[in-house]
Structure 1
Amino acid sequence: MPNDATVDLIRSLVEAMDDRPLAADAQGSVGGWESLAMILEFGEGFRSVHGYAYSPGDVITPVSCKWSSIESAVGAYLDGYYRPGERLPVKILVQFDRTAGKYEVTFEDADEDRWAVKPKNFREMREHLRPKFG
């Protein structure tokens, strides 16, 4: 059973993603997606969040959101794992399947290249990141 901070984190990502016109359809919403994978990055002096929304018919849409839209939910979530002043992970992968109601949150503490999406690997990475819950 997810705790409230996890539910709030996932909800903030979904709401912020749905508000981004970059990956929106004509109605201004990503809409129709069944699952998502979002990478939260904690770099030196920057924060970013990006990933993919997976819809029926193998439609995969790149998505992102403003960090400021999710910052309080991320902070509350991390407070459950880290004490003030402790080093944060370099990345967190949040995978959520809303049709199955399942999720997974994976921390990466050191490897800054893990889950790195680049022009040469974006097709493979979007499949690698796709939520697959057994």
Structure 2
Amino acid sequence: MKIDPKYIQELGALVIRSEDVVEEPEWNALAFVFDITEGHMANSGFIYVDDEIIPAAGTEEDPMALNRKIREFQNAIFEACGHKFVQLLIQMNSAGKIHIDFEFDNPKRWNMGPANYRAMREQLRPVFK
């Protein structure tokens, strides 16, 4: 599947403009999970500052800008492969590396709750080689 790199660049730019990210200028890495259903989108994630892990959300001055870009990306993926993702994972480091992963079938793959919260913080931590 060929994906236009503009989507990845635009998504990365929108994520690092999120209020929680801007408020943590010393961040080393971040991970956001977007849950996408028909008519609804939610996100949660973490900002990593050395050994500290800070819960975060991807919101900015225009909160719909990121949601619109994700919907546009979802449609582009659908056109390319015939499937819509239900979750999107965006991981970045402060050096500008970005990794995007999709979940097409299991809408709870990266869900966080009291039972798995601590484990998920580490599971979502970006590791770039």
**Normalising to structure 2: TM-score of the pair?**
0.81
The reply to whether residue 47 of structure 1 matches residue 41 of structure 2 is yes
State how far apart, in whole Å, the 2-side matches of 1:123 and 1:10 are: 25
Deviation digits for residues 80-113 of structure 1 (CA, Å, limit 9, x no counterpart): 3223xx65211011111123x3221111001122
State how far apart, in whole Å, the 2-side matches of 1:112 and 1:5 are: 22
Deviation digits for residues 10-52 of structure 1 (CA, Å, limit 9, x no counterpart): 1111112xx24xxx8xxx8132111111101112432011100
Alignment equivalent of 1:63, drawn from 50, 56, 64: 56
TM-superposed deviation, 1:133: 1.6
Alignment partner, residue 17 of structure 2 = 15
Deviates more, 1:119-128 or 1:61-70: 61-70
- Corresponding pairs, count: 121
Q: Which residues of 2 match residues 1-134 of structure 1 at below 5 A?
A: 3-16=5-18, 19-20=19-20, 29-56=23-50, 58-66=51-59, 68-83=64-79, 87-99=83-95, 101-134=96-129
Identity %: 25
CA-atom RMSD in angstroms: 2.2
**Normalising to structure 1: TM-score of the pair?**
0.78
- Contact 1:42–1:88 (8 Å) recurs in 2: no
Question: Helix, strand or coil: the match of 1:81?
Answer: helix
Unpaired runs of at least 5, structure 1: none
